[in-house]
């Protein structure tokens, strides 16, 4: 796998620049790594925040909390992700960023990163690509929330985590299991269904020999079938990338028919 393989759908002429930008940002953050415990709020919503981060290990997520205390998990950050890039341009984040598992996080003050952004095209390309990548994932997720069944959404999520972990080399490219610190309640917040519904879908996946989640570990028993379920919500990049769907030509195997609106 080339070093640029994890930059989804990038134009070929920018591949080397993205890799250089990644290494330069890692260099700028060198020596800043800090350990953070699970459930710590890294960025508090509606407060002045001056840092951009890179997740070295562990998981984190961006959460919107409504006035009635309902939570929506918007994005999940995995090892290797650069996040809170918007700190360069906005004074306050409108959502919390919470550490989901014990994590090691590097950071850089937004002014230092912005100076590099202005002076170094490689750093600028890498920062801009991160925003584009988050938009890609958010577009898929909004489509899933609007049109996908609970089965499709969960299948998409499990495949998304596998692909991103493999592309960042956190797990081997052919791994069929990985640690996932999300609780069923957090999964429900992200999937837009109740925790009871999440448990029901997990039970179906387990009993059908497709996938199981136990003690914080996801085990995919049949990646091809899981990919078929997720197929309507996968984008063209994910359908063609083995780290997500395995070597099978999933694009030729759309998921089972379902009535519109069926959960």
Q: Which helix (H) or strand (E) segment is 68 a member of?
A: none
Cβ atoms 130, 55 nearer than 8 A: no
Residue range 195-208, pLDDT digits in tens? 999 999 999 999 99
- Among residues 63, 54, 22, the alpha carbon closest in space to that of 36 is found at 54
Q: Quote the pLDDT of residue 263.
A: 40
For 255, the 3-state DSSP assignment is coil
Cα dihedral sign for 108, 9, 260, 246?
negative
Strands (E), the chain: 34-36, 41-43, 51-57, 60-65, 71-77, 82-83, 96-99, 103-109, 177-179, 211-214, 217-220
Residue range 136-193, pLDDT digits in tens? 999 999 999 999 999 999 999 999 999 999 999 999 999 999 999 998 889 998 999 9
Domains of the chain, each with CATH number or no CATH: 12-136 (2.60.120.10), 148-252 (1.10.10.10)
Q: Quote the pLDDT of residue 252.
A: 52
Q: Quote the pLDDT of residue 5.
A: 73
Q: Quote the pLDDT of residue 97.
A: 97
Q: Quote the pLDDT of residue 250.
A: 47
CA atoms of 205 and 36, how far apart (whole Å): 33
Cβ atoms 89, 45 nearer than 8 A: no
What tokens appear for 234 in the block? Answer: 């996968």
Q: Where are the alpha helices (DSSP H) in 66-222?
A: 110-119, 121-147, 150-167, 184-191, 195-207
Beta bridge partners of 36: 103
For 141, the 3-state DSSP assignment is helix
Q: Quote the pLDDT of residue 3.
A: 74
Predicted confidence pLDDT, tens digits, the chain (263 residues): 457 778 888 889 999 999 999 999 999 999 999 999 999 999 999 999 999 999 999 999 999 999 999 889 999 999 999 999 999 999 999 999 999 999 999 999 999 999 999 999 999 999 999 999 999 999 999 999 999 999 999 999 999 999 999 999 999 999 999 999 998 889 998 999 999 999 999 999 999 999 999 999 999 999 999 999 999 999 999 999 999 999 865 445 554 444 333 44
């Amino acid at each position: 796998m080339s070093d640029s393989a994890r930059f989804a759908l990038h134009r070929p002429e920018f591949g080397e620049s993205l890799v250089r930008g990644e290494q330069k940002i890692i260099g700028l953050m060198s020596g800043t790594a800090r350990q953070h415990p699970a459930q710590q709020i890294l960025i508090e919503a509606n407060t002045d925040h001056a840092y951009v981060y890179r997740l070295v290990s562990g998981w984190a997520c961006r959460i919107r909390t409504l006035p009635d205390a309902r939570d929506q998990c918007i994005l999940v950050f995995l090892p290797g992700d650069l996040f809170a890039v918007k700190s360069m341009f906005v004074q306050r984040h409108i959502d919390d960023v919470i550490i989901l598992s014990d994590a090691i996080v590097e950071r850089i003050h937004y002014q230092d990163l912005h100076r590099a952004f202005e002076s170094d095209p490689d750093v600028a390309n890498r920062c801009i690509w991160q925003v584009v990548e988050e938009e890609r994932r958010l577009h898929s997720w909004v489509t899933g929330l609007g049109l996908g069944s609970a089965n499709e959404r969960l299948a998409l999520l499990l495949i998304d985590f596998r692909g991103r972990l493999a592309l960042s080399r956190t797990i081997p490219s052919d791994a069929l299991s990985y640690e996932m610190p999300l609780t069923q309640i957090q999964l429900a917040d992200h999937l837009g269904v109740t925790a009871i519904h999440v448990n029901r879908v997990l039970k179906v996946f387990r009993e059908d020999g497709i996938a199981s989640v136990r003690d914080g570990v996801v085990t995919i028993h049949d990646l091809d079938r899981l990919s078929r379920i997720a197929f309507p919500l996968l984008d063209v990049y994910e359908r063609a990338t083995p780290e997500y769907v395995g070597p099978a030509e999933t694009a030729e195997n759309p998921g089972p028919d379902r009535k519109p609106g069926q959960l």
